Chains A and B, each alone.
Chain A
Amino acid sequence: AQSVTQLGSHVSVSEGALVLLRCNYSSSVPPYLFWYVQYPNQGLQLLLKYTTGATLVKGINGFEAEFKKSETSFHLTKPSAHMSDAAEYFCAVSGWNAGGTSYGKLTFGQGTILTVHP
């Protein structure tokens, strides 16, 4: 079984400030980890993903995330927030089910709404 916990349902930052969105996961198998962004009345757009290899992954729009196995974390960061970053962000985990397959099924966290103040 897999689960994802996003700490903080709302995060507010000033424009130009550091963005840090927290994600912790639970997985009995090596996880694949994803961050998605959702703008109002839109679908989900992939920001970045971790599969294997380098634990620091870079995504679109200046975002990056670091996989820390010992902490079971995959926090999302951006050095300098922009007004256009205001959206809801979802962390997700994918892995294998009991049958040895996963079909790319994702388990999502509850989401974090990011607000950026001028």
Chain B
Amino acid sequence: ETGVTQTPRHLVMGMTNKKSLKCEQHLGHNAMYWYKQSAKKPLELMFVYSLEERVENNSVPSRFSPECPNSSHLFLHLHTLQPEDSALYLCASSQFVLGKNTEAFFGQGTRLTVV
């Protein structure tokens, strides 16, 4: 399998549930990202991992907890979410090279509905 793969594609969860989103990249990249895409809002960067270290956390509520066990895998652990957290969650990866910016490659996304 190639590219960036996200599972599951769709998820419905109650506000008291705990679930996890998974992302796997097969591109040999060293940076991974979580973005949130809500209706009528720009894409929001949530977390950045570079070389398996979290390098950015954009004031995301603690009910979202990322984990990056290795350079190929990224998780987003979810607990006690709110209905306003319903959105498309996109994972992306890129190759970070000092002095250069390379494009990000995106997964298909997980459509999350919180009920």
In whole Å, how far is A59's beta carbon from the nearest beta carbon of chain B? 11
> What range describes how many residues of B lie at the interface?
20 to 34
Contact A103 B96 (CB under 8 A): yes
Bound together, the chains give a CA A53 to CA B103 distance in angstroms of 16
Contact B106 A43 (CB under 8 A): yes
Q: Is the interface of A mostly helix, strand, loop or mixed?
A: loop
Partner of A102, one of B101, B103, B107: B101
Tell yes or no: A44 within 8 A of B by CB. yes
Determine the residue in chain B with the shortest Cβ distance to A51. Answer: B101
Considering only CB atoms and an 8 Å cut-off, how many residues of chain A contact the other chain?
Answer: 25
Chain A contacts for B74, CB-based, 8 A: none
In whole Å, how far is B93's beta carbon from the nearest beta carbon of chain A? 9
Determine the residue in chain A with the shortest Cβ distance to B109. Answer: A43
Contact residues of A with B, CB < 8 Å?
32, 34, 36, 41-46, 49, 51, 90, 94-95, 101-111
